[in-house]
A = this chain, B = another copy of it.
Amino acid sequence: MQKPSLPKGTRDFGTLQMARRNYILDTIRKSFELFGYQQIETPAMENLSTLTGKYGDEGDQLIFKILNSGDYLKKVDAQDILKGYKDTLPKVAEKGLRYDLTVPFARFVVMNRNELTFPFKRYQIQPVWRADRPQRGRYREFYQCDADVVGTDSLVCEAEIVLLIRRVFSQLSIKNYSIKLNNRKILTGIAERIGAAGKEDSLCVAIDKLDKIGWEKVKEELIGREFSDDSIQQLQPIIGLDGATTEKIAFLKEFLQSSETGLKGVSELEEVIQTLKFMGEGEEHLDFDVVLARGLSYYTGAIFEVKIDGVSVGSVSGGGRYDDLTGVFGLSGVSGVGFSFGVDRLYDALDELDLFPEQASESTKVLLVHFDQKGYEYGLGLVQRFRKAGVKAEVFPDVVKVKKQFDYAAKKGIPFAGICGDNEIENSTLVIKNLETGEQEILSPEAVIEQLS
């Protein structure tokens, strides 16, 4: 008899985890929809031609490939084996599991471009798969939760991302966090200004690590990336930039005077803040962080990153504006802005902060408990009345000892027991017991339903 196990790097979600994940995802989903985003789903399997070449060589290695069905060896001969697995791959596998939600979304937009309404606001919550080396907190299957608006340059989208993040966090009762905001054009401007024009990608990769490794190490990396001493010297005031948003903006307008792109970045940032004002909203939780870089080179405008204070997980949300989502599939001119929530990290953060509400782990609201066949039948007679009033209810389905029934309630986290004893049957009542406090009272079923509704 085989002892079953799970593939490395994968996991089951049990009932409590699922209830809590659903609490998070339902909150996010409702907020997305409030802002006019609509959900789509794409298949788990994509053609390898769709996936490869989009994530760099390392990424391509990490895509899970699916063996062609039937005789997957029919195009392979012994010679191929000698050539090695990379050359053989196209002959044995045509499909792979999606690696993220962005490339499938780009494919979706291209294939449906004539039916879609632009600006197209979509969200997508699905698992992705990566053949990474599994380690603590890193899985081979995990959910991504993406929202994008494509087909408009309007900075209202950026402002609304800020509002969406605030709304989700407020609904999740997360109070202390910061939404770091920057603009890729400002980074381009800085590179120009310090005499390193065109090297903004290198600059981003290096200063992206400022938080983790500190300025001295970043300097070493910049030297390694052939930034001159003079450039590094000129970068100094940027690294230490502090103060209110208006002060930072004033400084940058001066500092970036000579860079058209840099100034464009600053004015975009100003417009986002101005749009928030038009919307009756302020700068709460906003942190204009001029060294926020986000490694990804495809961002071209605003970039975001969200961190929760006092938790060990890293950023729980991030995103930015890009110029060309679908160019790789032959449709150019589709720009947009997107961001995503890290569901696993949000889960861990809420867990650390003890912010999951009781209801997020509650299954059934009341268990009808009985002593004998008569009580069991009485319970059966009541349970549907609870359900019809929308109260999650169960009757223990066998005539067993009361202790076993209470154990069931305790293990399942059921907060109330409705006890069906002889007196209750006679008087058409119920002893309703709060299983946390031990308090109990005798009430009519109607009164219990009202109390639990």
Contacts and interface: CB of A to CB of B under 8 A. Distances in A.
Interface stretch (A114-122, A177-185, A314-322, A418-426): A114-122
B15 A38 contact: yes
B67 A141 contact: no
B81 A119 contact: no
Contacts of A18: 38-41
B46 A154 contact: no
Given A65-B66, A380-B279, A19 B38 contact: yes
A7 B384 contact: no
A392 interface: yes
A336 to B, nearest CB: 12
Interface string A28-58: 0000011110111111111101100000000
A129 interface: yes
A92 B67 contact: yes
Nearest to A329: B4
Interface stretch (A219-227, A296-304, A393-401): A393-401
The copy count of this chain in the complex is: 2
A244 interface: no
Contacts of A95: 7
B2 A157 contact: no
Interface stretch (A103-111, A194-202, A284-292): A103-111
A73 interface: yes
Interface in A64-106: 64-67, 69-74, 76-78, 81-82, 84-85, 88-89, 92-95, 97
A163 interface: yes
Contacts of A69: 61-62, 64, 131
Nearest to A80: B81
Contact of A4 (B40, B50, B395): B50
Contact of A78 (B39, B78, B107, B117): B78
B397 A152 contact: yes
Contacts of A131: 69-70
A43 B6 contact: yes
Q: Which of A62, A82, A92, A94 has its CB near the most chain B CB atoms (within 10 A)?
A: A92
A240 interface: no
B45 A10 contact: yes
A179 B97 CA distance: 38
A5 interface: yes
Given A15-B39, A152-B397, A163-B384, 16 more contacts: A1-B329, A2-B50, A3-B329, A6-B47, A11-B43, A12-B40, A14-B115, A18-B38, A22-B39, A35-B387, A61-B70, A73-B81, A77-B81, A78-B82, A278-B380, A279-B384
